[in-house]
Amino acid sequence: MNRTLHSKTSLFLMELIISILFFSVSGAICVQLFVKAHLLSESSVEINNSVLWTQNISETFQGLKGNLHSIADFFSDSSIVLVSYEDNPEIGTLVMFFDEDWNLISYPTDNGALENAKYELLLCISELPAAKVYADTSADTSLMEGVALVGEIVILKMSDGTIIDHIPEGNNPGVISDRYTDYYAGIAEGDANET
């Protein structure tokens, strides 16, 4: 009789240990799923906001005809022109910073707000021959003459607080979003006088 009671108790304890082990493994899997869902949600918010800002800058570029300084004036207290060429003020790089909630950070700043920057937006504008920019898309030969302003917009995640003044080459893990936009600037003044 005592032997039967002892074996039933052992069997019950074994069953209880297996149940606890099963619930522990299930709990660990559920925690991992919740963590993964949270990370995906944060990534999704990051990507959505970066796409909205690249679209916003692209539309501003189009609306202001690719003029770098006009774009900088449009975002006057939130942007800085890092590089601009005196012979062509439309060419150069515009930089903007965002905090973790995608609010623009005023620049330049004396109150240390730039230390809170989590994202950096670069708009690099260059001037290229229109024939190079529109070669594969245009049947209109009039667009082949003149120049086009090309803007490359990149949003980077700032990992160590370092300000980047150029668009990184290759597959950079810090790049969240990038976009190209262009504006046909027409025939340059020097070219128009020659014809």
> Residue 35: what pLDDT?
95
pLDDT of 194: 43
φ, ψ of residue 41 in degrees (nearest 5): -65, -45
Select from 145, 144, 179, 173 the least CA-distant residue to 160: 173
Note the pLDDT of residue 195: 39
The whole-number pLDDT of residue 133 equals: 79
In the numeric block, which tokens belong to residue 80? 């800085």
**pLDDT at 8 (0 to 100):** 74
Q: Which pLDDT value is given to residue 49?
A: 92
Output the pTM of the full model.
0.73
Q: Which residues of the chain carry a pLDDT beneath 70?
A: 1-6, 83-89, 107-113, 137-143, 160-162, 171, 173, 188-195
